[in-house]
């Protein structure tokens, strides 16, 4: 900040009103899955779901929630 009386601030500097607002919120994740056996001992399948919740992210929403589901192949050695 330049306090000279010219009435202009130096190039590249800005005067910010309000500053930075910071929020700290909690989050949790919960999920589960099932392994499905096949007649082939080394091969199986897995199905799973997951839910993730955070507090107010500051984008105009109360909270942020994400739900996901997935499936895959299980190889046993």
Q: Which whole number is the average pLDDT over 43-68?
A: 83
Query: What is residue 21's predicted lDDT score, i.e. its pLDDT?
Result: 61
Q: How far apart are CA 7 and CA 1, in angstroms?
A: 12
Would you list the domain boundaries of the chain? 27-75
Q: Cβ neighbours of residue 52 under 8 Å, at least 6 residues apart?
A: 27, 28, 29, 65, 66, 67, 68
The string of pLDDT tens digits covering residues 12-42 is: 555 555 555 666 778 889 999 999 999 999 9
Rounded to the nearest 5 percent, the helix, strand and coil shares of the chain are: 0, 45, 55
66, 52 in Cβ contact below 8 A? yes
Query: What's the mean pLDDT when you consider all of the chain?
Result: 78
């Amino acid at each position: 900040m330049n306090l000279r009386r010219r009435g202009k601030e130096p190039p590249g500097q800005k005067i910010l009103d309000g500053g930075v607002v910071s929020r700290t919120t909690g989050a949790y994740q919960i999920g589960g899955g099932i392994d499905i056996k096949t007649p082939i001992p080394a091969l199986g399948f897995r199905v799973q779901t997951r839910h993730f919740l955070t507090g107010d992210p500051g984008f105009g929403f109360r909270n942020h929630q994400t739900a996901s589901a997935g499936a895959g192949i299980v190889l046993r050695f």
